[in-house]
Amino acid sequence: MRQETIIVFDRAEKMYEDKYALRDFSFEIRKGAFLTVVGGSGGGKTTMLKMINGLLLPDSGSVRVGGMDTAHTDLIALRRKIGYVIQGGGLFPHLNVRENIAYVPRLKKEKISPEHIGELLDMVALPADIMERNVSELSGGQQQRVGIARALAARPEILLMDEPFGAVDGITRKQLQDAIRDIHERTKATIVFVTHDLREAVRLGSWILIMNEGEVVQQGTPEDVRNNPNGDYAAQFIKQLECE
Ligand SMILES: Nc1ncnc2c1ncn2[C@@H]1O[C@H](COP(=O)(O)OP(=O)(O)OP(=O)(O)O)[C@@H](O)[C@H]1O
Ligand SMILES: [Mg+2]
């Protein structure tokens, strides 16, 4: 059975002054995929991610999400279907854990019960008694988990994650990787996950995209990309996997 496509970039371009952040970028993401995006700094990963929730619109070409062109759609409604997790969690520092998680449901005038918040915390392996704590008192790894729980509270169809585990140590990172894999299985959301860490990308992704200078270098299953790097850039990149 051919899986449905949920996100389509069609020759999308974005320029800053005279430099392309995204160049003739055509790419499709299947519904329910766990896409991991890797590539060097400045390669256009964050630009690509922000085009999915319409924080950026292409200068030319188009981006369609669920069949709707982001340049001609209600972006507020679009963003309600999309969770966005950034490095550090991007939490509201003056609110406690419960208030942070309830923030988007409250905007949508939806009630979210303490039990549901407890379930969300459980999904990211945090104890329910953390709920009333001020987020500024939490460790980096804990804040990151709350950021993921907050994104999940809106039951997103699409979860965008921009280097979410970049600032956490090895053990916490492993736990968070396990948690997100579990969340993907449970929620069936489409995940687009940007990382600098190729090992993480290979471990988590059902599909990998390597980007450089705003363009697609290679895409495929982790095995495929690993075994058949396409050109010098991909080959250099894949070499990272060999060194422990
Ligand atoms: N607001 C902006 N103004 C000017 N240039 C920008 C802006 N945002 C991004 N760029 C440029 O666009 C290019 C792509 O940036 P982007 O943030 O998408 O890269 P990235 O792959 O996410 O990099 P990193 O891995 O460092 O996060 C870079 O050359 C960057 O300098
Ligand atoms: Mg970035």
Helix (H/G/I), strand (E/B), else coil: 113: coil
Cβ atoms of residues 211 and 22 within 8 Å: no
Q: Residue 198 to residues 137, 202, 234, 240, 244: CA-CA distances in angstroms?
A: 31, 6, 11, 7, 12
- Spans of all domains in the chain: 5-81+157-241, 91-155
Closest ligand 1 atom, CA of 40? Answer: 25
Most confidently predicted of 30-34, 89-93, 139-143, 175-179: 30-34
pLDDT for the residue 39: 94
Is the distance from the beta carbon of residue 67 to the nearest atom of ligand 1 less than 6 Å?
A: no
Q: Is the CB of 46 under 6 A from ligand 1?
A: yes
Find the mean pLDDT for residues 52-65. Answer: 98
Residue 238: what residue type?
I
Pocket test for ligand 1, best of 23, 47, 86 (most atoms within 8 A of CB): 47
The rounded percent of the chain whose pLDDT value lies above 90 is 81
Ligand 1 proximity of 3 Cβ (cutoff 6 Å): no
205 pLDDT more than 80: yes
- Distance (Å, rounded) from C-alpha 201 to C-alpha 69? 28
- Whether the pLDDT of residue 2 is over 60: the answer is yes
What's the chain's average pLDDT?
Answer: 93
SS3 30: strand
Per-residue CA distances from 3 to 180, 197, 201, 240 (Å): 22, 28, 22, 31
Q: Residue holding tokens 């062109």?
A: 69
Q: Is 21 in the pocket of ligand 1 (CB under 6 A)?
A: yes
Q: Which of 175, 157, 156, 155 is nearest to 165 (CA)?
A: 175
- What pLDDT does 244 receive? 56
Question: Half-sphere exposure of 70 toward its Cβ, with a 13 Å CA cutoff?
Answer: 27
Which tens digit of pLDDT belongs to each residue from 11-37?
999 999 999 999 999 999 999 999 999
For 5-81+157-241, give the CATH class. Answer: alpha beta
Is the CB of 18 inside a 6 Å radius of any atom of ligand 1?
no
113-146 pLDDT per residue, tens: 999 999 999 989 899 999 999 999 999 889 999 9
pLDDT at 1 over 60: no
Mean pLDDT of all residues in 61-77: 97
In which band, very low, low, confident or very high, does the pLDDT at 170 lie, cut at 50, 70 and 90? confident
Q: Judge whether 150 and 107 are in contact, CB under 8 Å.
A: no
Q: Residue 70: its pLDDT value, please?
A: 98
